[in-house]
Chains A and B, each alone.
Chain A
Amino acid sequence: MRASAVSGIVFANARDEAVGRMTNYRSMASVPFGGRYRLIDFCLSNLVNAGITNIGVITKANYRSLMDHIGSGAFWDLDRKQGGVHLLPPFNISGARRYHGYIEALYGAMDFLNRCNSEYIVLCDGCVAANVDISAAVDFHIRKDADITVVYRTGAALEKVNNMMTMTVDSDDRLVSVDFPDSISKNELSSLGVLVFGRELLIELVNNAYENGGRNIDVDIIADRINALKICGFRHNGFSAIMTDIETYTAANMSLLSKEVRDDLFNPERRIMTKNRDDMPTRYGTKAEVKDSFVADGCVIDGEVFRSVLSRGVIVKRGATVKNSIIMQDCVIGENAIVCDAIFDKSVTLNNNTVIRGTTERTIYVEKNQII
């Protein structure tokens, strides 16, 4: 298959409202995750690892940090003459207002869809951390001669339900029914927000749905056309987390302390790529005590860190303790300070001898650039 046969579209503002203040200044896709990543790294890497190098990123609001992160796309090998990564801010919708729902978003990106000249389009939600074999999903789509393929997973134990599409499939992998339930059981199949379409069909479906006032792909295309079109389900077997609220975000970060999850999410055959900061390796001092933690480069650790995820450039000073927490890049934890069950956004400084203590049930979130 030629490289341009498939193009990708990423929804950068997927579920923006789900993680509260974390998206006050950024889109969901640029929410930091797993120490050195932003959520969009999963979409971009999954697409690139499937040989898809023409990618549109649909944004709505607060996309400065996203632009900063993506840059020329070089870190994902997306600085290309043919294709590459294209940021698609709100555009050519009447009055240039922000979109409501993906149908309108895709309608606004119609230029990209019309021009990209690919046979297939893969849509990806920017709120998902998963290493998805998109190449296999596209092959499946072609083999099944499907109109639409929905990538699904089982065992949504991590997420609370919030606008999640569940489905049943028959023995031939065809979707029989979909639902948008209030609660979800472990065995149910739920959409991972990764969809494969023929490009021309997608354009037609989007145009029709838009004209009829449709907003949501899951409701107004998939549920609506489940009998009229051949819609198939492709199963993703590995780890996945959809950021439906701050609890699932926290739990998904913490699940990286499991080797099984790390080995799956960071599968060496399909690497997750990200912007490189050229930090030094992390330095552990004489008094450092670190257990069960996931630590990015550039940290200087002279205190204690337990069951935590530390992003790049975090400083934990002598006598300080960090426990059950997610600390984003360039935070400083002062001497003898204590952080427990908390999420620190970027560049938070916790002064010496200061205590921030949440509970397992209620994680404390500290906005970026705070000095406490």
Chain B
Amino acid sequence: MIKKKCVAMLLAGGQGSRLGVLTEKIAKPAVPYGGKYRIIDFPLSNCINSGIDTVGILTQYKPLELNDYIGSGKAWDLDRLSGGVHILPPYQGQKGGDWYKGTANAIYQNMMFIERYDPEYVLILSGDHIYKMDYSKMINQHIRTNAACTIAVIEVPLDEACRFGIMNTDSDGSIYEFEEKPENPKSNLASMGVYVFSWDKLKKYLVDDEETPDSSNDFGKNIIPAMLKSKEKLQVYKFGDYWKDVGTVDSLWEANLDLLNPKINLNLSDPNWRIYSRAGAFPPHYISDSATVENSLVTDGCEVYGNLDYSILFENVMVEEGASVEYSLVMPGAIIKRGAKVRYSIIAENAVIGENAEVGALPESVSPDEFGISVVGDNIEVGRNAQIGPKTMITDNVREGAKI
């Protein structure tokens, strides 16, 4: 096997339970984003654009859709003779097998995979974030500072720091303390869930961690604290561009609509840093005489006869005449029937919103604590004239005229 300088391991096994019905049937990294992408397109495209051509994808929760999507890795140029993309589910050995108990255990169970490439560095990624990042710069800093581990961080407003894993650092960027969701944060440097480890160091700590009986085998909870305790050199790598965790319905919705914000630099077809996706073979979209389309993203296969404002249509969406979609995401194959109104909502794949049905509400029309993004699950049918209020998650078909 040809030696690789760096192997990336992408943790894609999480359920993403906070996305509710959106991850009922698929793993979070397979959740659609931005009209023609899925979340996992970001770490995969970042890898290939950073010159990393060997990626292990650790899957566990509902992997069917994800496996199918990744295929041979061709869409990201990751179909390689040596290296390329590999799906790594939990497996049985002679002494039995186990589910991945935690993020560190998932890597531990696949040490053989990493060892085949005899890498100097291992890049740990997750499938939860929207960002364009050159990992090679981070690896170069890791080499330059001679660190055992480098953790990518982003500055967050101090009053929001309590929602993140926070790195407390000395002036040279070396980490002396890691606090998960601290009540009184000492710093605003939040971990992005992107780690570079020197492989010999990581290997030692993974093996030690496995031998620690009550460990939860987690990078944040166990590996990083153990390394800090042993006085290993841990460095932060500061990242200054767009980064968003899309772990909740609200943040997924926001991260999508950020694509419509001219003040946010998130050009996904930048020739120097393209985000690749596995697009279907659909024709261009059609905007009819009866349609109005403003401030929106529309992609292949869509047919728009109604009105769009501040919305994103994914592949093959139909918006019928007189229907209106505002501040919403309509995922692949969904149909918004005649006269239906969709506002501040996420309509999942292949859902059908019946004639004159209403989903979601404008923020000004309800009290602030009642307001929120509504979600209609995939393949759900919402009957005609049904009314679905704000901040509602629809997991079953809705009868004609029902009010929820």
State the A residues within 8 Å of B (CB): 34-36, 45, 74, 256-257, 259, 262, 265-266, 271-274, 276, 278-298, 309-310, 313
Contacts and interface: CB of A to CB of B under 8 A. Distances in A.
Interface string B247-275: 00000000000011000000111000011
A36 B294 contact: no
B269 A290 contact: no
A346 B396 CA distance: 48
A266 B295 contact: no
B285 interface: yes
Contact of B298 (A262, A279, A282): A282
Interface string B278-294: 01111111111101111
Contacts of A271: 280-282
Given A284-B298, A285-B294, A278 B275 contact: yes
Contacts of A291: 287-289, 291
A34 B277 CA distance: 22
Given A281-B298, A295-B285, 13 more contacts: A35-B283, A259-B286, A262-B283, A262-B286, A272-B283, A274-B281, A281-B297, A282-B285, A285-B295, A286-B294, A289-B292, A298-B269, A310-B284
Interface of B: 34-36, 74, 259-260, 267-269, 274-277, 279-289, 291-300, 303, 308, 312-313
Contacts of A280: 34-36, 259, 267-269, 297
Contact of A284 (B268, B276, B293): B293
6 closest A-B pairs by CB: A281-B35, A281-B299, A35-B284, A296-B284, A281-B297, A271-B281
Contacts of A290: 287, 291, 293
Contacts of A35: 283-284
A281 B283 contact: no
Contacts of B260: 283
Contacts of A309: 284
Contacts of B277: 278
Nearest to B278: A276
A266 B282 contact: yes
Contacts of B293: 284, 288, 290
Contacts of A286: 294-295
A285 B261 CA distance: 10
A303 to B, nearest CB: 12
B305 to A, nearest CB: 9
Given A281-B36, A297-B36, A298-B269, A292 B287 contact: yes
A79 to B, nearest CB: 9
Contacts of B276: 278
A292 B284 contact: no
Nearest to A298: B269
A45 B267 CA distance: 31
A293 B286 contact: yes
8 contacts: A34-B283, A256-B286, A259-B303, A280-B269, A285-B295, A291-B287, A295-B298, A296-B285
Considering residues B259, B291, B298, which has the most beta carbons from chain A within 10 angstroms of its beta carbon? Answer: B298
A74 B74 contact: yes
B275 A257 contact: no
Contact of B269 (A34, A256, A265, A278): A278
Contact of A276 (B279, B286, B289): B279
A45 B283 CA distance: 13
Given A259-B303, A296-B300, A284 B284 contact: no
Considering residues A74, A284, A291, A295, which has the most beta carbons from chain B within 10 angstroms of its beta carbon? Answer: A284
Given A262-B283, A286-B294, A278 B299 contact: no
Contacts of B279: 276, 278
Given A274-B281, A288-B293, A295 B269 contact: no
Nearest to A309: B284
Contact of B295 (A36, A284, A295): A284
Contacts of A45: 281
Considering residues B287, B296, B308, which has the most beta carbons from chain A within 10 angstroms of its beta carbon? Answer: B287
Contacts of A288: 293-294
A288 B281 CA distance: 27
Nearest to A36: B284
B289 A36 contact: no
Nearest to B316: A268
A174 B160 CA distance: 78
Contacts of B294: 284-288
Contacts of B285: 282, 294-296
A337 B269 CA distance: 25
A297 B284 CA distance: 7
Nearest to A45: B281
Nearest to B268: A280
Contacts of A265: 283
Contacts of B281: 45, 271-274
Given A262-B283, A266-B282, A271-B281, A283 B274 contact: no
